[in-house]
Amino acid sequence: MAYDVPAFGSLQSQLVGLWPALTVRTVPTRPRVILVLNSMTIDLPDHFLPMIPAYEERYLCFVLALARSENTRVIYVTSLPMLPRLANYYLQLVKDLKPTDAANRLTVVSVGDPSELPLSRKILDRPLLVRRLRELIGDPQYGFIWPFIVTELEAELAVALGIAIYGPDPALSHLGSKTGSREAFVAAGVPCPRGAGGLRNRDDIVDALLEIQRTGPVRRAVVKLDTGFSGLGNADIELGYADQRRDIVNAVDRLVPDDASLSAESFLAAFATCGGVAEEWIEGERVVSPSVQLRASPLGEVEVLSTHDQVLGGPNGQTYLGCRFPASPPLIEPLTRYGRSIGAELSRRGVTGRFAVDFIVTHKDGRWWPRALEINLRNGGTTHPAITLMALTDGTYDEESGQLLTRTGFKHYVATDHLEHRHYRRLTPDDVLDVVEAAGLGWDATLETGVALHMVSAVALNGGLGATAIANSSQEAERLLSRLRLALDQASGAHPTPQRGTP
């Protein structure tokens, strides 16, 4: 292993004492230094690579932790220089927070490296930068890394900086793969789709599909790369209830990847490199894809943080586009119950930190039937909206109802990373912030409603950005997001500005 395992284990033992300070809502009684490291240390499709700088800014919501206590400092590291106004934008979301005071406790560090290497690698390759970060952190007993994911690179960086990291040992990363997820579900006694993991090549896929057809023929199946990201490592297979090897081989050769840049041949080549799973395609009268967020403490305690309805799209309907909070009421209890069982299994195996479990739930014969799909042993698309809501309000999450109650009532939100239009490329990040302000869509700290943006720098790269619209009902939240889209359309020329008197 590239990292010093004993040294990393010693650092991670500090999480026991740090644990009370490991949320953005915590009001720490002693100094707290959060180093935000959104290093995309995972296999990404080629078309994602230009977006890495924007994804590194996806968790600027952690800047809101500065509002909780003068004892908190945040160090935010990115590959390329960040537009100064973006950090200030978050500081101004918090009522009564003096931006100057908060800015003094925020340090934004740029590596100045536009390459496609993971951010963690870029830092480790620069000893003087490592030394500077150590100096910025100060006393290491008060600092910790808040990562996107923990791989050997992040563990090596934690050792180099001498601070703990809010996440599991990379030795447990298998549990976050598609194959490892299935193993954990079985161990936890949680239902999952029929299929098989640990597959290495096309023949393995064919054998797995033959077994599925033997025990109950299906029309479609899905194959997933073990390390796939955001659904883009999935491929759809039309079986047509075939149960003969020759027919299944032909079906596999015609599979359709969710990543439109891949052919069937290139997908199977990637599968031969990293392996994966094959599963039945779940169908029903109604099919939804919710998720549950949890965290496990170093002492083995498991906490349910939220449940969401996920919004999926793409060619096969498997690409993550956004989420809604809270999850649909009938789904909250089974998501929470099964999520706790899976969380307990992961905790038993030594996992600490935040993680999420994606489900597929079908409605059939008057009942909802949940099946666990995969474990995201990292932050994901539902992480930053949940943290944004918690940081902007003094809300309390009620596990039984699945809702968050603030001083102004129960809160709902709809969030997306894919507020996109080709004409949005005409806008700069500054333009976007101006549009939100002019449209009156910013965060209202008194009413606790409004829009919080993220990934704003992506607008000039691919004509997209992210937003979390928070309101007192799901309908209100949807209307806020629609208003934001309309304002961006009009500002960019994607939609003409209505003439006076036009409805």
- Residue 23 is predicted with a pLDDT of 77
β-pairing, 164-165 with 143-147? parallel
DSSP codes joined into one string, 397-458: EETTTTEEEETTEEEEEEEEEEEE-GGGGG--HHHHHHHHHHTT-S-BTTTTBEEEEE-GGG
For the record, the structure tokens of 473 come out as 């009902």
For the record, the structure tokens of 467 come out as 């937003």
Non-local (6+) Cβ contacts of 459 within 8 A are 424, 425, 427, 428, 429, 431, 432, 465
- Residue 216 is predicted with a pLDDT of 94
How far is Cα 134 from Cα 141, in angstroms, rounded to an integer?
12
Domain boundaries, the chain: 5-167, 194-280, 286-492
How far is Cα 116 from Cα 184, in angstroms, rounded to an integer?
32
**Spatial CA neighbour of 295 closest among 371, 370, 194, 390:** 390
How far is Cα 277 from Cα 128, in angstroms, rounded to an integer?
43
Q: SS3 of 301, please?
A: coil
What are residue 420's phi and psi, to 5 degrees?
Answer: -130, 145
- Residue 488 is predicted with a pLDDT of 96
How far is Cα 376 from Cα 300, in angstroms, rounded to an integer?
19
What are residue 179's phi and psi, to 5 degrees?
Answer: -70, -45
pTM, entire model = 0.92
5-167 has which fold?
A: Rossmann fold (3.40.50)
How far is Cα 490 from Cα 367, in angstroms, rounded to an integer?
44
How far is Cα 173 from Cα 70, in angstroms, rounded to an integer?
35
The DSSP secondary-structure symbol of 80 reads: S
How far is Cα 269 from Cα 200, in angstroms, rounded to an integer?
10
Q: SS3 of 381, please?
A: coil
**Spatial CA neighbour of 23 closest among 58, 64, 55, 60:** 64
Q: Give the count of beta carbons closer than 10 Å to the beta carbon of residue 335.
A: 26
How far is Cα 238 from Cα 315, in angstroms, rounded to an integer?
13
How far, rounded to the nearest angstrom, does the alpha carbon of residue 199 sit from its chain's CA centroid? 26
The DSSP secondary-structure symbol of 64 reads: G
Q: What's the number of CA atoms in the CB half-sphere (13 Å) around residue 256? A: 11
**Spatial CA neighbour of 290 closest among 360, 377, 376:** 360
Exposed, middle or buried, 4 (CB in 10 Å: 0-12/13-18/19+)? middle
- Residue 261 is predicted with a pLDDT of 83
Same fold, 5-167 and 286-492: no
Residue at 107: amino acid letter: T
For the record, the structure tokens of 499 come out as 């003439």
pLDDT, tens digit only, all 503 positions of the chain: 588 999 999 999 999 998 888 876 677 778 899 999 999 888 776 767 778 888 899 888 888 887 777 888 999 999 999 988 898 898 888 776 776 777 789 999 999 999 989 999 999 999 999 999 999 999 999 999 999 999 999 999 999 999 999 999 999 999 999 999 999 999 999 999 999 999 999 999 999 999 999 999 999 999 999 987 665 789 999 999 999 999 999 999 999 998 888 899 999 999 999 999 999 999 888 999 999 999 999 999 999 999 999 887 766 666 778 899 999 999 999 999 999 999 999 999 999 999 999 999 999 888 999 999 999 999 888 999 999 999 898 789 999 999 999 999 999 999 998 899 999 999 999 999 999 999 999 999 999 999 999 999 999 888 999 999 999 999 999 999 999 999 999 999 987 544 333 22
How far is Cα 53 from Cα 429, in angstroms, rounded to an integer?
13
For residue 279, list its beta bridge partners: 195, 222
286-492 has which fold?
A: D-amino Acid Aminotransferase; Chain A, domain 1 (3.30.470)
Q: Could you tell me if 8 and 158 are in contact, meaning their C-beta atoms sit under 8 angstroms apart?
A: yes
For the record, the structure tokens of 12 come out as 């991670």
CA dist list (Å): 435 to 246, 467, 470: 57, 13, 18
For residue 254, list its beta bridge partners: none
β-pairing, 450-454 with 353-364? unpaired
Residue at 119: amino acid letter: L
- Residue 318 is predicted with a pLDDT of 65
The continuous run of DSSP H or E covering 481 comes out as: helix 474-492
Exposed, middle or buried, 461 (CB in 10 Å: 0-12/13-18/19+)? middle
